[in-house]
Amino acid sequence: MEMSFASVQPADRAQRTFAPMRESDLDEVARLESTLYDFPWTRVNFADSLIAGYCCRVLFQDGVLVAYAVMMCVLDEAHLLNLSVAGTMQRRGLGRLMLDHLAREAALYGAERMFLEVRPSNVAARAMYDAAAFQPIGRRPRYYPALDGREDAIVMSAELGEGWRAGSNEAWRR
């Protein structure tokens, strides 16, 4: 997938740069992941995603890795497998920035829709996907491990390309 990784310069002058995830990022990605989830992906899960050729991206802010994502693109479908923002950097628009970046990459690849699963209990992620016009299209019973047993997954889908509801650049100011 061809994509430019030019830096973006928000109004707060922080330097934000998207880049392909590299082997050298895996320790930090796995470390962040372990702080964000009760059932985190392992370093091996991320390494396998690189080997499988999934679209694995990181976002650096002033040289610090602040967000990462893994997406699988097959023909006209993109499947978002992981999108995470470092705990101290949340609610600054970075999750939405990464989501919009992935949507552009997937559309360039030729994907027409993006799919994802999200926990019903994940209020932050659901609000972000709702704002991006993802629609619930199904439910996978007992899909996720949970501290008290299992939790369903809500399956969501959104149109890419012209149908994509891009986030506001307002978020970059924070």
What amino acid positions are annotated as catalytic residues?
117, 129
* Residue 25 phi, psi dihedral angles, 5° rounding: -90, -15
Contact flag: residue 128 with ligand COA (CB under 6 A): yes
Tokens of 57: 């991206």
Is the C-alpha dihedral spanning 19, 27, 123, 63 positive or negative? negative
Q: Give the one residue of 131, 133, 137, 166 binding ligand COA; rule: CB under 6 A.
A: 131
Return the number of the residue (7 or 121) whose C-beta is nearest ligand COA. 121
Size of the residue set binding ligand COA (CB under 6 A): 20
The whole-angstrom separation of Cα 41 and Cα 120 is 19
The span of 46-54, 123-131, 143-151, 154-162 binding ligand COA (CB under 6 A) equals 123-131
Both tokens assigned to 109: 């690849």
Residues in the chain, total: 174
- Residue 85 touches ligand COA, criterion: CB under 6 A: yes
Q: Which parts of this chain interact with ligand COA (CB under 6 A)? A: 36, 83-85, 90-96, 118, 122-125, 127-128, 131, 171
